[in-house]
Amino acid sequence: MLLPAPEGPGVRGIHDAILNHKVMKTKPILVILAAVVMLLAGSAFLIRSKFYGEDEKQQQLLRFLNGFDQQVKEGNADSLLTYFAAGKDRKNIERLAGLLAGISGLNGENAPLFGVCFVTDKCAVRTTGKTAEIVIPVIFKRDSLAGGQSSLSLRLQQDRGGKYLVIQADVRKFLSDYERYEMQVKRQAGDEDIYHLVSRMAYKNSEKLKTRYDTVMWFDHVNYQTYYYVIKGKVIPDFYYPEMHGAFIHVLKREKPDYKIGVVGPDLKEIIPAQYDLVHNIGGTVDGLIEVEKGRKRGLYNLNGKLVAPVIYDQIYPLNDDQNLALLKENNNYFFLKNDTTVSDKISGFKIADMLPKFRAFGKSLTIPQATPKNFMECNEQELQEDVVIPPSCLTDLHLLPKVMPQDIPAFRSKVVVSWPKQMELKYNGTQKQKNDGNWLTGIYYSVFNHFIDGRSTFYMTDETRSVVLVDEKQNKIFGFDTARFIGDDRESKNLTCNENSFKAINDTLFEFRTTGNPYARLNNPNDYVVQAPVYYYLHVSGDKLVALPGSRAFACTQYVKMDDSYLNGCYTFYRSSKYAQSDHLTPDVLEYMKNEIYASYGYKFTDQYWNNVFRFSFGRVKINLVNSVDDQLTETDKYNLKWLDSKLQAAKKDALASR
């Protein structure tokens, strides 16, 4: 559902709550629409509400609806695009147009299994000023199968010439019903009508392999040859998303891993024994080779089943190099995997920083390649019909990409799709190099975007996290850290333009990572929020990892460092009274928020109930008894920063008086 600018943006944790609130408010409106409808019978057009505008608006709405319906009937996807307002993500609008026109299925490529038809004489419409909301009943139909029913909700707005264009679309019900009807069609249709020969043969062969293995988990199709990822044992529930399982550890009994993965070739002979924790896509890490993992160690097989790099390495970094395929790290020693797939002797005097320019993924942006007919991996589940990518372990170790990523189903896979496309993008945000006590540190910054269309929430969505790869020349190591923050979605991106990244060493063991984030902090005016601001992470090295110090303040700098004037400057985006505004420095209302946040984090009961409401769901305050004084709990850093913030607030007041 593509929503207008919200009355008050929310953080990821409350995003769904806000959305559900808006959805619930929509339901009674649609009930009212039963008495305020637009009826179309042939060329007749009758408005039964005093709330509709002048005759010209009525005629424009009629032109829109008749034209929109006509393009759907004629299958003119290109013409349908002219009925949508220009948007940032044109590709996804094209996918929706192709779906409605019957040109493509849900993934924008495969042919649909059935037709889509509008029932225009039963539309519900409401107009407000230059906007209109239309609910169009939809029927799905294929041959003799009983038709399915749904609806599509559109919000329109008149342009300068009075023409109505789609500016928002609620596709939740439509996509859900579409998927449900598609499953009915699939159950009725035979394999010949649904699955491509390669997939159909893979499903049949997987049945043969069940006599030797407990499960065939994935098929990897390379040049129309299928390789089978086989399992011995039981796959645990958190295999795909271990971080989600951890969130529910208090209600779920965590299962101990009891499975091993191997690979069987096209001739159904085993080429990788089922003894590994994870096996990656063929050629996904190094061209022509297969990365395997066992007990946090990595190695490489070729397609003939030869172990070309034993499973003893901590990291495997694919290279862009004329002589070497990859860099192998074992403890603090480094080796090359040469072009002939032999492993070199230990590299003497190796400096990791010198090799950075040759690392395939460092210092550049990349989009995870979509599956192609000649190379894609799919799940062995006919009902799921989803492809997967297992990224190189080095990118997962550095927190740049997840362990397992879903992908589009390739175009040649005939007619079946059950999910909207997903795409992962790794965007390079620059490099910073600085010297600290004789040690050179290099920070490489990335944004990790997950683009998708989600019918359950918003039309165009983007999850963004900020990541930093830190190269420590003294330790000769690379560390990675990701913020795991939700940044926004495509409808807000034009307003959220801040993009800051920097780091500095606080001392020998503590680093400050500063990046743009979304605190969504409500300020002293209930209609004002700060939606983008510098956010701070305080990282220390633990083993081979960068670990953030704990804390839940939106502005963690107040907790871990004694602030100075360098913290006053930065890129801030505000949402004030339904409008976005930007500033290059801290404003007094943000300074006040930072001050009150320090007190709130200790359970302080504000005399002004407004601030108790602002922090109600922060720091576990809803579950504790608030207190009238927290002075004995404040740290020296807290006390220093409270005094510093007071001084800045006083200075701001003097400046305001002077300006008057």
Kindly state the tokens that stand for 146.
Answer: 């009983």
Is residue 26 over pLDDT 60?
Answer: no
Mean per-residue pLDDT, 577-593: 92
Mean per-residue pLDDT, 75-81: 87
Bridge partners of 232, per DSSP, are: 260
389 within domain boundaries: no
Question: Domain span at residue 137?
Answer: 36-191
Instruction: Give the three-state DSSP class for 352.
Output: helix
Which of these ranges, 227-231, 296-300, 454-458, has the smallest mean pLDDT? Answer: 454-458
Sign, CA torsion 99/104/109/111: positive
Does residue 236 share a domain with residue 299? yes
Does residue 346 share a domain with residue 299? yes
2 within domain boundaries: no
Does residue 47 share a domain with residue 108? yes
Mean per-residue pLDDT, 511-533: 90
CA 621 to CA 642: how far, in whole Å? 21
Where is the domain boundary, 560, 583, 606?
A: 583
Does residue 293 share a domain with residue 173? no
Longest dimension (CA), the chain: 85
Amino acid at 624: I
8 within domain boundaries: no
Cβ distance 422 to 452 under 8 Å?
yes
Quick one: pLDDT at residue 319? 93
| Contacts of residue 378, Cβ cutoff 8 Å, sequence gap at least 6 | 199, 202, 218, 219, 221, 385, 386, 387, 388, 409
More confident residue, 410 or 609: 609
Is residue 313 over pLDDT 50?
Answer: yes
Does residue 626 share a domain with residue 512? no
174 within domain boundaries: yes
- Residue 290's alpha-carbon distances to 267, 281, 287, 296, 575, in angstroms, are 18, 6, 8, 16, 49
Is residue 237 over pLDDT 80?
Answer: no
Q: Which CATH number covers residue 120?
A: 3.10.450.50
Cβ distance 536 to 513 under 8 Å?
yes
Does residue 342 share a domain with residue 200? yes
What is the pLDDT of the chain when averaged over all its residues?
A: 78
CA 436 to CA 442: how far, in whole Å? 11
384 within domain boundaries: no
Which of these ranges, 74-83, 313-322, 639-648, has the smallest mean pLDDT? Answer: 74-83
Is residue 217 over pLDDT 60?
Answer: yes
356 within domain boundaries: yes
Q: Using pLDDT thresholds of 50, 70 and 90, give the confidence band for residue 276.
A: very high
Which of these ranges, 182-191, 310-319, 538-547, has the smallest mean pLDDT? Answer: 182-191
Mean per-residue pLDDT, 388-398: 88
For 242-262, how does the pLDDT look when each residue is reduced to its tens digit (9 = 90+)? 544 343 333 344 556 688 999
CA 504 to CA 377: how far, in whole Å? 42
Is residue 28 over pLDDT 60?
Answer: no
Where is the domain boundary, 332, 367, 402?
A: 367
- Does pTM top 0.75 for this prediction? no
Where is the domain boundary, 553, 583, 613?
A: 583
Does residue 546 share a domain with residue 499? yes
CA 199 to CA 221: how far, in whole Å? 9
| Overall size of the chain counted in residues | 660
Is residue 88 over pLDDT 70?
Answer: no
Does residue 322 share a domain with residue 207? yes
Does residue 597 share a domain with residue 460? no
DSSP 570: E
Does residue 153 share a domain with residue 40? yes
Sign, CA torsion 83/86/88/94: positive
408 within domain boundaries: no
CA 380 to CA 301: how far, in whole Å? 23
Does residue 181 share a domain with residue 160? yes
Q: Using pLDDT thresholds of 50, 70 and 90, give the confidence band for residue 93.
A: confident
Is residue 597 over pLDDT 50?
Answer: yes
466 within domain boundaries: yes
Q: Which residue has the tokens 């992470």?
A: 537
Helix (H) or strand (E) run with residue 246 in it: helix 242-247
Does residue 256 share a domain with residue 118? no
Most confident of 163-177, 302-316, 409-423, 499-513: 302-316
Domain count for the chain, please give it.
4
